[in-house]
Amino acid sequence: MRLRIGPAIFDLRSPFRRSVGHLAELYRDYPQGMDGEVYDFAVRARPISPLRRWVRPTIVFDADFMVEDIVPVEARLGLLGFEMAINMQMALGYRREIVFHAASAAKDDRAILIVGDSGAGKSTLSALLSYQAGWRHMGDELALLTFGPEAVLRPYPRPIGLKNESIAVMRALAPADRFGPLLTETVKGTVQHLLPPQSAISTMDEPARPALIVSPRFRASVAPEQRRMTQSEAYLRLSVASTNQLTLGEAGFETLVDLVRNVPAYDIVYGSSEDALSLVDDLWREAR
């Protein structure tokens, strides 16, 4: 299948019917069938050996950009392998904008950029913002920032990769038909994908100006806290969070310097969804 996510067109192929079924379900709202158009990235699944298509079926992936630890996967986890491979193509292969390992969401024409390591709570916070607080979901894993002094964030709204405890939290908030299959015993524990609201996909060509940067950390039952980062801290944090900035030369440097000069950045710590949303709400009201 061929589909477009934000600005990038992916060509995905698999001989495993279950993976194809999962992909079709998860990407049902995305533009598809762009035969004849040039695609950006190809991801191909194949059995690790001919017989392993049927016996203890195991999938390996072929794509332009891969790292060893995401392959191979058991056939039942084919969807997860595809999701990781798709991310990897964007993170390492995309050059038209600065790519950050970050979530983003918008209100009107302004956006929040949520940076943090894996497991810090980006996906959960971005799911809460879109399904509980009325933000426009722009992506939970990778954020794309255009170059120049008037840089804007471009949506790259992927299915949100919920893990472990956050699955139950979001099941109470989002319609059941927006969830993908429950994937148990993966390298990340239990994983379930949550489709962003339909409106986030239909507006995925509408960029937003970054107005606030937060680096979240969830710690069970702690009191909410916020701390403003200095500009150089924010620069370093974003530079580390970017998967391609170093390859983009002076244009990447200049854009990132402008970003930290113009957009306030905060560390936030919270122990509950309510605290997370109220912290973001407070900071958003101060941001311009």
Partner 1 sequence: MSEQALHAGISAYSLDPDIRIERLEDLSLAFHRQSGETHVLAADTEIILSTLGDTPLSAQDIAARLVAEHGALESEDGDPLTLIEARLQELHRLGIALRRPSA
Binding to partner 1 by residue 251, rule CB under 8 A?
no
Binding to partner 1 by residue 235, rule CB under 8 A?
yes
- Minimum Å distance from CB 136 to partner 1? 30
Return the number of the residue (31 or 264) whose C-beta is nearest partner 1.
Answer: 264
What is the rounded distance in angstroms from the CA atom of residue 196 to the CA atom of residue 186?
Answer: 22
Query: Hey, what are 185's tokens?
Result: 């015993």
What is the rounded distance in angstroms from the CA atom of residue 256 to the CA atom of residue 148?
Answer: 9
Interface residue with partner 1 among 164, 198, 199, 247 (CB under 8 A) is 247
Binding to partner 1 by residue 230, rule CB under 8 A?
yes
Return the number of the residue (124 or 245) whose C-beta is nearest partner 1.
Answer: 245
- Minimum Å distance from CB 232 to partner 1? 4
Query: Burial level of 177, CB count in 10 A (0-12/13-18/19+)?
Result: exposed
Return the number of the residue (14 or 255) whose C-beta is nearest partner 1.
Answer: 255
Are residues 26 and 79 in contact, defined by beta-carbon separation less than 8 angstroms?
yes
CA angle 166, 168, 173 (to 5 degrees): 95
**Residue 44: helix, strand or coil by DSSP?**
strand
Which residue bears the tokens 């970050």? 102
Question: Could you give the string, one character per residue 185-224, with x where binding to partner 1 holds by CB under 8 A and - elsewhere?
Answer: ----------------------------------------
Instruction: Report the interface residues with partner 1, using CB under 8 A.
Output: 230-233, 235-236, 239, 246-247, 249-250, 253, 257, 260-261
